[in-house]
Structure 1
């Protein structure tokens, strides 16, 4: 089960690898400016995660029209996520939670999945401009995607 709706969104600073190098992305920088969609996913370069992120990529204009910043978050390292984003032509940031702190604070961390410790559950969290969790879902099933229609409805 992911963080409860109505909760204050736990702040985090995660690493993002872009053409300029590594940079910090802090969630609270969005507060007061834009809504935020956090898409936690288990594994870079896995088939289900590729399809999930491509689905978001293909509808990113809808999220932008709803004044939302989308972040993909995985416990993979930032260099792997940069290569993953490039391979998929993803134009929204993929953030590395390699220390597993954000996934833990949002209650979306598998202790173990497929024999690997500390893997993000496939989850979605929508945060209002005020920093409140307004939608949250998580799945114990690595192959189950979030409900994208419900995510968009939460942003309206």
Structure 2
């Protein structure tokens, strides 16, 4: 099923960097969540994207938005990645690629690897509806964070 803005998504639960399950509904709380799917921990563009997100967390917090980043890396790998880059938001392991598939964010093949998440960004509101989505085919591109900010601020 192809997702579009306005669609309601199903709740899901993935392991965080401590191996504990975190549900989408917990991340949203009473506000919104920005979900960032990324191909691979420790790769250049992914690190650039997530470190930029880290550096802008005060802005996301001021707009009442939580942030979580999702990859198919194990939670052990994500734990080290979070530590090395001092990331200040949840990293979630979609090791079985079920959530990435639910969000239509999987490459069939990525540098010879199957089932790698596409770089994608979603804003999900407290009703579990998609307010914004961007699924990039080119993993060298970074989501349009200005557009995400516009959506969060109601601009």
TM-score range, shorter chain: over 0.9
Q: Which runs of 5+ in 1 are unaligned?
A: none
Aligned to 1:15: 15
Structure 2 residue runs of 5 or longer lacking an equivalent are: none
Preserved contact between residue 41 and residue 78 of structure 2 (Cα < 8 Å) = yes
Contact 1:32 1:130 in 2 (8 A): no
Match of 2:53 among 56, 64, 83: 56
Aligned-residue offset at 1:3: 2.6
Q: Would you tell me which structure has more strand in proportion to its own residues?
A: 1
Structure 1 length as normaliser, TM-score? Answer: 0.93
In the other structure, the counterpart of 1:133 is: 130
CA RMSD of aligned residues (A): 1.2
**Which runs of at least 4 in structure 1 moved beyond 2 Å after TM superposition?**
29-32
Alpha carbons 1:70, 1:92 under 8 Å: kept: yes
Query: Alignment length, in residue pairs?
Result: 152
- Residue 28 (1) aligns with residue 36 (2): no
Q: Does 1:40 align with 2:73?
A: no
C-alpha deviations, 1:95-132, integer Å up to 9, x for none? 00001011000001111101001000000000012211
Distance (whole Å) between structure 2 residues aligned to residue 53 and residue 30 of structure 1: 17
